[in-house]
Every structure is written in C-alpha cells, then in structure tokens.
Amino acid sequence: MSFLRSAWYALPNLVRFVIRRLFVGLLLCLGITLVSFALTQVVPGDPVSANLGDRAASDPEIVAAFRARYGLDKPVPQQYLLYLERLVHGDLGESQQTKRPVTTDLAQYLPATIELATAAMILALVLGITLGVVAAIGRDRWPDQVIRVISLAGVSIPTFWLALVTFYIFFFKLGIAPGVGRLNPGGKAPPSITNMFTIDALLSGQWTTLGIAASHLVLPATVLAIYTVGSITRFTRAAMLESLSQDYVRAARAKGLPERTVILRHALRPALAAIVTVAGMAFGRMLSGTVLVESVFSWPGIGQYAYKSALALDLRAIMGVSLVVAAIYILVNMAVDIIYALIDPRIRLG
Amino acid sequence: MIITRRMLGVLPIAMAAAVAGMVPAGAFAQDASTLVVDTAFQLKTADPAREFEPTANLVLHPVYETLITFKGSDLTTLVPSLASIPVVAPDAKTFTFTLNPAAKFSDGSPVTVDDVIFSFNRVKNVKGSPSFLLDGVTVAKGAKDGEIVLTTEQPDPGLPYKLANPAVGIVNSKLVMANQGSADEGADKTDRAEAFLASTSAGSGPYILDKFDMAAEVVLKRNDAYWGAKPAYDQIVVRNVDTSAQQMNVMRGDSQIALDLRPDQLDAIKDAAYTLSVPGADVVFMFTNANPEISATAANPDFQQAVRLAIDYDGILAIAGEGAARPGSIIPTMFAGALPTDAGPKRDVEAAKAALAKSGIKDPSIELTYVSDITKNGVSFADVAAKMQADLKEVGITANLKPSPVSTFLDDYRAGTLPMTIVWWGPDYPDPSDYLLFGPGEKVGLRAGWKAGSAPEVTEIAKKAAVEIDQAKRVELYDAWQKALNAKGPFTSLFQPAFSMASSKTLEPVEYNAMWTIDLTAIAPAKQ
C-alpha cells in the first residue's frame, strides 16, 4: 500500500492531476448515462410511434420485431445494464433513425461539428482578444464605445437570424460565398482520416478540395463565432483593465519598456487565464449549440443529428450524443486547467 | 531568411489568400451534366424493403424499378415497367404479370422471376414499414417463362397500385444474397443487406446509387447498362437543404429544383424560375370522437353535426394558402374515387346553432388537440386550430386548444383517446382502398371511437368497394361510401396542403407526382 502511495507521489504533479481528473470524468460520464437514460424513459411518447409508419406501428409482429431489434422489449433496468455492458466495449447501440451503430454516426457527424466549432473558436479568439485589448487600452474613449456596441450586438443577435442574413447577403446578393453544405454538390470528400474535410484535404495534399472545404467553412464559422466574439471581448476587456492597474505593469512602464511589450507581455498574459476559462466554456457551448447554424447552412453535424434524434425519440442516439458532448466538455475543462498552469506559474496542479 | 514578428502577423492573411487561390476560377460553377435538387430530407434508409419515407421514394424510384408504374402526375392509370399490366382474375385474388425479357440490372444480368419472388418475400419478411403492402400476398412462378403470379387471401383490386411503390422495387437477388441479404422467414433477424444497399445499389433503374449520406446528400450516377431510354443527366445530386435556403439556391442557380417551398415564397421567385403549387396528397382532417367513454360531448351526433356546420372551410383553405384544395371527403383529389369539394359539408352558422340546441348540451366545452412542433407543407396546425376555435365560439362551443409534440400526439391519436383533433393522412398507395381504414371498426375509424357496427350502411358499401374490380363501378362505390362517411362518420376533411416547388428555367417544366414527389428520371434540360 505504502509502495503504491509512494509510486503515486513519485509521479509528476501534472500526470497525477490528469489521472485524477480522468477518473472523476469517468464517474461523471457514468452519471450522465444514468441521467440521460432516465430522461429518455420519462419523456412521454413511444419510439415505435415515432419511428414506424402508421400501418407498421399497428402491426403487432412488426412492433415486436422493432422492440426486439432495439432491446426495448426488456425491463428498463436491464436495458440500462445492457447499455453499460456494451458501452464498456465501445458500443453505443444502434440508431433507430439511421439503423447504423451510433458510433458510426458520431464518427461521421461529430468531426463536421468539431471542424466548424474549431474554426469558429479560432476566429472568435483572434477577434475577441484583439477587440478586448483595444477596448481596454482605449477605455471610455470612442474605440471602447464602438467595441462595446459590437460585443453587445454579438451576444444579442439571434444566431438563426444572423445565419439567414449573412447567407442572403454573401451568397445570394453578392455571390462571393459558396452555397450550403461542406463541399460543392456531389463533391468528392478527401480520403477519410479525421473526417474534417479541411484537415483531410491538407493531409492528403488535395489543394483544390482544401480550398473548397475552407471556403464553405467561412460563413457558418463566422456566424457561429459572432456570439463568442462578444463574450470574449467583454471578458478580455475586464481582465486587461484589471491587469493594467497592477503594480507590475506600472513598474514595466517605469522601466521604459515599449508600450506594446507592456501590453502584450505584462498585461495580456495574466489576463489570458480568464479568457481561457471563457473560451473553454464557449467551445463546449458551440459543440452542443450548432444546430441552428447547421440547419441554415445544411452542415451535416452533430447538432442536426441530435435534433432529429430527439424528434424521433431515438434513445440510443440521444444518449450517444449526450455522452460524447459531456466527455468533450470534461476534456476541454481539463485542458483549460492545464493551460492555466502553463500561463500562470502561480497555479500548481496536483 | 529571418522571420520577423511583422511577417508572423501577416501569416494568417497570407494563408487565407493562399487558400482562396487554391479554389480555381469556376470551382463553384455547376457542371451542366449534373442536376441538383434541394429538399428537406425525410430519409432513413436506402434499402427499398425498409423504406417508407418521401425522400426515399424520390431517390430510390430512379434506382429500383417496379413491375408497373405511373407516368407524369397521373396516379389513376398504371403503365408497364419491368412487367406488363397484370391480368386480374374475376375474384380479384390472382394477378398475373409477365416480365419484359429486355429488362436487366445495372450489372448486366437479366431481371428474372426469381428476383421478383426474392424481392417481394424480402419486403414481407424483413418486417419493415412497407411490409404491409404485401400482407396476405403469395408470390410464385407462373406457368410460362417470365410469368409471376400473385395470390391474395382476400380480394384486393388495389394490389397493382401498391406494386408501383418504390419500396417493392425489384432487387438483384444474387447480389443482395451475396451481401448478407435474405428473403426467408425470419429475415427481420437474418437480413443484413441494409448497409450494403446504402453503399451501392442493386436495381435495374436508369440510375445507380453513388453516394448515400442521410444527413447531407444522395448522389445518383447514370446507369450505363440501362435497358430503357437513356436519362438526360449523368449525375443527380439530391441535397438536404433547409427550406429557408432552398429558394435562394434555385434563384442563384446553385440548384435547379427546390421541393419544399411555401406557397407564399412562390411570388418572389416566379420571374426567375418555373413555379408549381398544387394540392399534395396528404389530407388534413378533423374528428370528434364517437366513443362516449372518451367524451360524451364529442360523441353526441348532434354536437358532431354542429361542429361540421360551424367550421369556415373557405377560411381554413385560405390559411393553407394558394395551391391547397379541399376534397369532398377523405380521398384526395388526384385519386380515383375522389369527391368534388361541394360534396363536403358547408358552413351554416344558424344550422350549427340549431344542431347544438338539439344536442341538449349547454355551453359545451371540448379539448382540441393538435400537433405543435411540425407543419404540413408550411401550414401550422396551431393556425388551423385557432381558426376552428374562433368558428366554434361563434356557435357557442368552447374549444380548449391543446398543443402536443408529434411524438406524444401519435401515441394518444393511435390509442383513440383524443376527444377532438386535427390530424392528417398521407396515402400509403394511390388507390381509394387505402382509405377504407376510415370505416367503423377499422384502424383509423377506431382512433375516432367509431366502433364496428356503428354504421352498417357505411360498412356494407365498403365491403362491396373492396372487392369490385371494374374501375367505373369502383369509382361509383367509393363515391357512395364517402357520401355515407360524410353523413354518418366522425371525420371531416379540411384541406390538402399545397405542394409548392420551383424549378429552373434551364429545365423543361417539372410535374408533381404524389408517390415520388417528382420523377427524377424524366427531368430534362429546356429545349433550345
């Protein structure tokens, strides 16, 4: 026992932190399976009605075959235990809508959403931090006022409306944006490596496909980024104002360091901890909240999959999406904590 | 080279420019040999034996040919496809088809009687949504080469109309069996060909399946081995596009056809494209439950009559928009046996008040349930329910609106527990016999609490209509049956929502077909 303890403490702090968080994350995921399973059971409505045609739903043989195929003929606790047993083997069950393994569906739809959310996140970080820093430097002067209006608009404009308007202007009126979807109609996807078309095209050297995939990404990613730009701008401004009032910033200025160095190295770096927190939460929110953008831009991602699953009471698909999104949240949060430590040496993991 | 911070700063801009430069001029332009169709997908599978969704009919109709089919928008006249028009025995229990010897699958192998037997048995035994089409049907080889004999347990003159459904399309049995397909008893557990059929196709139609992505697009490629007339396009891309973007796509030329427009969108598009707004095949109807255990008020015949006379049918039709129609009863306007609009009930407020007084119910109040989370071709059930509520109030009936998500609504509706509701019926096959389910004691009749024996005269006419094989006599019988249904039944048809679409002027005008929406194989570029 003491050997184990000393071996544990012999591990670097970071490794112990990651192991501990992963263990807690596993327990959380287990809890999420229980909650999502319980919710799918208490929701009124029968998957048979939602998935079978009118005639088929009235045929006892067909209904029995449907229930047997999806394990709905077993007692509820047994259904949950069977789900857990399969989950251990990486099997999330079969979707009633697509009649494919949920893992296959997720492998297809999740990368499309991750690609979209990542592009949006990069855009939001670049714009949000830049605007936040400019607003803080120009506090209460016109740049600050203009940026405040922009960030307020960002968090206030409904995403669905913004998606339609941008599509109307840039695709329909100006003709400078490509149409809907991830590629042109009937376009060949690059060889599947990550299922993120831009990355796969890059890795396989298909430059034209990369260009087309990237161009299809621009408009939905921008729309998705707008809300997050607003919140990152506001947090960056607040964090920067806090940093700029610190003694070490005054000391840096007193030493005669160039203002740019003072801002970027001495003020922005400590402010980044707060920004990373917002960004981590925003990324999780983007993953689970892309449905409206995906709908307008016909982006075949996990948002649309989850929405259609919910409408069709596709229990296994709903649970699969819940579990994967929860796991990503947990991993992103862990990554945020690690980045904290890297940004701010005062923070110790362990 | 020394990389300075300034250079790093402009790196993202340089990368964006480089990416933009990778897209060759005209990369977004469309190939003239490709047809692009936008629709909001209702699609679950590419396996004909398991499909029963509108988008599946649209994309599988060009891939899997049926024994007989329809041409254009006419669903009253069957035309030969893989086989001739069947010879029907006088008892309407035996149907003999003769295969066209020229027919062959996309791999070049001939379409045989064995393929037909396999395909039909597979539809029955995988126990999917379309299995009911072949309930009680036995399929066997005929006495002559290329002959197929279908035998039914009960007389079924509507059977040939069921066989035009793409769900009973003929598959290449050898190919499907080689890929874990089965048509034997127990195929619901043993057949594993669905994944194979989502990756390729095994039909004899003018197109083959090239890509099947249920979330994004279905791509069909021309079948170079097709045994019939060559289709106009090398490739057809059917994309899953939200209705809000479809109009812009077709106006911009990004797609050639938009299938899910609302009637009110057509005005904006009519100069740029051909527009079509015609009654769809779904019939939206309402019922007052005839089962007094569910609601004594709803079951009162005079109350039912008061409701029928109180409704402003023209007002509801106006809500449904241009292109919508009102059938005279439950059979939609494009099917044989449909009644003209004036055969349906008409609004008469005074007569409604008199009927209500005769019912003896003082200040009646009833729950009116409707589906709140979906629309029918853009028509909101909430709007229709609100209109009905106002109409009923005028005659002294209080309707309490009860919105319900479709998933829970269907359970209540099918259990027959709703006192009054607005609901719809989409045809399973284009024959009036599909609507006999609205009779007393039948499936839909029971949902409205209309028990067997409640209206013997309606049942009698239905029995005759179900077995009559002479088409003219059938139409007469279905007319009479619907008139009796209007007079005695708990159902009242409200409207057929409009099907509204737009197609590019670079195409010949496109026709609507209630079975597969549009015939993709018949679409051709505009003549110069």
Structure tokens at A298: 């016909």
CB B458 within 8 A of CB B489: yes
Substitution target from B15, B23, B41, B132 for chain A, most A beta carbons within 10 A: B23
Q: Is residue B182 within 8 angstroms of chain A, CB to CB?
A: no
Please report, as a single letter, which amino acid is at residue A231: S
Q: Which of residues 429-488 of B touch A (CB under 8 A)?
A: 443
Please state at what angle helix A268-288 crosses helix A102-137, rounded to 10 degrees: 150
- Mean local confidence (pLDDT), B235-252: 93
Beta bridge partners of B367: B400
Label residue B469 by pLDDT band (50, 70, 90): confident
From B150's Cα to the closest Cα of chain A, the distance in A is 21
Give the H/E segment covering residue B259: strand B257-261
∠ at Cα A336 (A330, A340), nearest 5°? 150
What are A53's two structure tokens? 């045609």
| Cβ-based contacts of A62 with chain B (< 8 Å) | 127-129, 131-132
In a domain, A304, yes or no: yes
pLDDT the model gives residue B433? 94
**Residue A87 forms part of a structural domain:** no
| Chain A residues lying within 8 Å of B428, measured CB to CB | 53-55
Domain presence at residue A41: no
A172 vs B contacts (CB less than 8 Å): 248, 251-252
Residue B293 C-alpha, separation from nearest chain A C-alpha, in angstroms:
22
Identify whether the C-beta of residue B140 lies closer than 8 Å to the C-beta of residue B149: yes
Q: pLDDT at position A271, please? A: 84
DSSP 8-state code for residue A171:
I
The verdict on a CB contact (< 8 Å) between A55 and B132 is: yes
Looking up tokens 């629309």 gives B375
> To 5 degrees, how large is the angle CA B123–CA B129–CA B132?
65
CB contact under 8 A, B128 and A62: yes
Q: Which residue has the tokens 């086989």?
A: B83
| Closest chain A CA to residue B39 | A298
Asked if A53's CB is within 8 angstroms of B52's CB, the reply is yes
Q: Are B282 and B426 in contact (CB under 8 A)?
A: yes
Q: Does B373 touch chain A (CB under 8 A)?
A: yes
- The whole domain housing A150 covers 102-343
Element (H, E) at B371: strand B365-371
Per-residue confidence band for B227, with pLDDT thresholds at 50, 70 and 90: very high
Candidates B43, B30, B38; CA nearest to B238 is: B38
- Which pLDDT belongs to residue B29? 55
* Local confidence band at B62 (pLDDT 50, 70, 90 cut-offs): very high
Note whether B23 contacts A: Cβ–Cβ < 8 A. Answer: yes
**Chain B residues 84-123 with CB within 8 Å of chain A:** none
Interatomic CA distance for residues B370 and B373, integer angstroms: 9
Residue A26 lies in a domain: no
Mean pLDDT over B404-426 rounds to: 92
From CA A336, how far away is CA A342, in angstroms rounded? Answer: 10
Q: Which of A50-64, A111-125, B336-350, B477-491 has the lowest mean pLDDT?
A: A50-64
**CA B38 remoteness from chain centre:** 17
Chain B residues inside the 8 Å CB shell of A167 = 245, 248
pLDDT at residue B27, as a whole number: 53
Yes or no, beta carbons of B21 and A56 under 8 Å apart:
no
Tokens of A76: 């509820």
* Helix, coil or strand: residue B305: helix
Distant-in-sequence, close-in-space partners of B3: CB < 8 Å, separation ≥ 6:
none
CB atoms A49 and B34 under 8 Å: no
Task: For residue B25, count other CB atoms closer than 10 A to its CB.
Answer: 6
Between these two residues, B155 and B119, which has the higher pLDDT value? B119
What pLDDT score does B30 carry?
Answer: 63
- Say if residue B419's pLDDT is above 90: yes
How far apart (Å, rounded) are the C-alpha atoms in residues B409 and B418? 9
List pLDDT tens digits, range A83-133: 999 998 989 999 988 888 999 999 999 999 999 999 999 999 999 999 999
CB distance A185–B36 less than 8 Å?
yes
For residue A107, being part of any structural domain is answered with yes
Number of A–B residue contacts, CB under 8 Å: 155
Which residues from B are below 8 Å from A212, CB to CB?
23, 27-28
Chain A hits for B504, CB-CB cut-off 8 Å, are: none
Q: Tell me what the mean pLDDT of segment B280-292 comes to.
A: 96
Q: Is any Cβ of chain A less than 8 angstroms from the Cβ of B405?
A: yes
Best B190, B410, B417, B443 member to test A by mutation, with max A CBs in 10 Å, is B410
Tell me whether residue A28 is in a domain: no
In this structure, what token pair is assigned to residue B1? 């080279």
* Mutant choice from B47, B134, B235, B254 vs A, greatest count of A C-beta within 10 A: B254
- Contact between A236 and A228 under an 8 Å Cβ cutoff? The reply is no
Per-residue pLDDT tens digits for A27-43 = 999 999 999 889 888 87
Q: How far is CA A62 from CA A56, A101, B31, B166, in A?
A: 6, 21, 44, 20
- Judged against a pLDDT cut of 80, whether residue A226 lies above it is answered with yes
Testing the interface with B: which of A51, A54, A63 to mutate, by most B Cβ within 10 A? A54
Mean pLDDT of chain A: 88
- For residues A111 and A302, what is the distance between their CA atoms, to the nearest angstrom? 8
Task: Give tens-digit pLDDT for A128-172.
Answer: 999 999 999 988 899 899 999 988 888 888 888 999 999 999 999
Structure tokens at A319: 């649970």
> Are the CB atoms for A199 and A193 separated by under 8 Å?
yes
CA–CA distance, B387 with B318 (Å, rounded to integer): 11
SS3 B401: strand
Q: State the alpha helices, DSSP H only, in B183-254.
A: 187-190, 194-199, 243-252
- Whether residue B229 lies within 8 A of chain A, CB to CB, comes out as no
Whether pLDDT at A45 is above 80: no
Name the strands in the sheet holding B283-288, side by side, starting at the edge strand that comes first in the sequence: B398-404, B365-371, B420-425, B283-288, B491-495
**Distance between CA atoms of B358 and A226, rounded to whole angstroms?**
63
CA distances from A223 to A213, B20, B126, B231, B498 (A): 17, 19, 45, 40, 33
Percent pLDDT > 70 in chain B is: 94
CA of A239, closest CA in chain B: separation in Å?
23
Q: Which residues of A touch B23 (CB under 8 A)?
A: 208, 211-212, 215
Q: What is the model's pLDDT at position A272?
A: 85
Residue A59 has a pLDDT of 82
List, for residues B326-350, the tens digit of each pLDDT value: 999 999 999 988 999 999 999 999 9
Let me know if residue A115 belongs to a domain.
yes
Could B407 and A296 be called an inter-chain contact, meaning their C-beta atoms sit closer than 8 Å? no
pLDDT band at A283 (very low <50, low <70, confident <90, very high): confident
Percent of chain A with pLDDT over 90: 42
Contact B388, B367 (CB under 8 A): no
pLDDT at B183 over 80: yes
Q: Could you tell me if residue A284 is inside a domain?
A: yes
**DSSP per residue, A21-90:** HHHHHHHHHHHHHHHHHHHHHHSSS-HHHHHS-TTGGG-HHHHHHHHHHTTTTS-HHHHHHHHHHHHHTT
Q: Which residues, 6+ apart, have CB-to-CB distance to B479 below 8 Å?
A: B337, B339
Given an 8 Å threshold on Cβ–Cβ distance, is A298 in contact with B244?
no
Q: Which of A164, A211, A298 is nearest residue B22 as measured by Cβ atoms?
A: A211
Q: For B407-417, what is each residue's pLDDT tens digit?
A: 789 889 999 99
The two tokens of residue A172 are 């329909």
pLDDT at B456 over 50: yes
pLDDT at A348: 65
Three-state secondary-structure class, residue B496 = strand
DSSP string, A204-233: TT-HHHHHHHHHHHHHHHHHHHHHHHHHHH
Number of domains in chain A: 1
Radius of gyration for the alpha carbons in chain B, expressed in angstroms and rounded: 26
Residues in CB range of B103: below 8 A, 6 or more apart: B65, B82, B110, B111, B204, B227
R_g of chain A, CA atoms, integer Å = 24
User: Are B364 and B485 a contacting pair, CB within 8 Å?
Assistant: no
Distance in angstroms between the alpha carbons of the first and the last residue of chain A: 20
Contact B220, B210 (CB under 8 A): yes
Describe the strand order of the beta sheet including B137-141 as a list of residue ranges.
B87-88, B94-98, B147-152, B137-141
- Tell me the whole-structure pTM to 2 decimals: 0.86
Query: What CATH number does residue A270 fall under?
Result: 1.10.3720.10
SS3 A113: helix
CA B114-B123-B45 angle, 5° bins: 120
pLDDT of B81 higher than 90:
yes
How confident is the model over A216-234, as a mean pLDDT? Answer: 92
B187 or A8: which leads in pLDDT = B187
Alpha-carbon gap, residue B363 to A322, rounded angstroms: 49
Of B248, B254, B410, the CB nearest to A168: B248
Q: Which residue has the higher pLDDT, A264 or B173?
A: B173
Instruction: Work out the average pLDDT over B211-219.
Output: 93
Q: Answer yes or no: do B188 and A178 touch at CB < 8 A.
A: no
Question: Could you count the other beta carbons within 10 Å of the beta carbon of residue B77?
Answer: 11
In the predicted structure, residue B24 carries a pLDDT above the cut 80? no
